[in-house]
Amino acid sequence: MNRKRWIRIAAAYSMIYTVITLLSSISYLCNGVYEDPSGNWHELDRAVILLIGIAAFELCTNLPVKPLILRYVTAYIPSQMLAFAYVWFAGLREPLAKTAYRDIWINFTSLFMLLCIVNTAIHAYKKRKNAL
């Protein structure tokens, strides 16, 4: 992988992490919670889960598999399993919320689908641009 791609991956990771953290903080504040009840571990966990998703997406979406949807499934299934495993291991450190697995599934899947939509749009744009 070249330097430009590493910079793009780091920039995407940083921007997504920042947006997710800001949305989470705004949500807490709107609900009258002025401190993160999970503390610093929650921030680190968010960073690791996002790293799992971004790394899997970047590595697997460039596989030489023809249907684009198959590339996404190839990236999604193992990375979601790895995210579940991370949550399980985090449960060894401190008790998990009752909805921890549901929450990670919803959040991980939503973000992954958003990345897929953006990647598909970029892929279609490049394909159309090259056809002209």
Q: Where are the domains of the chain?
A: 38-131
Q: Which pLDDT belongs to residue 59?
A: 78
Q: Which pLDDT belongs to residue 36?
A: 73
Q: Burial of 33 by CB count in 10 Å (0-12 exposed, 13-18 middle, 19+ buried)?
A: exposed
For the chain, 132 residues long, the average pLDDT of each consecutive 10-residue run is 85 91 88 80 89 85 82 90 95 90 92 89 87 76
CA distance 99 to 105: 10
Q: Which pLDDT belongs to residue 108?
A: 92
- Single out the residue of 45, 54, 88 nearest to residue 36, CA to CA: 45
Q: Which pLDDT belongs to residue 1?
A: 66
Within 13 Å of residue 18, how many CA atoms lie on the same side as its CB? 6
Q: Which pLDDT belongs to residue 64?
A: 81
Q: Which pLDDT belongs to residue 94?
A: 87
Q: Which pLDDT belongs to residue 57?
A: 83
Q: Which pLDDT belongs to residue 47?
A: 92
Q: Which pLDDT belongs to residue 109?
A: 93
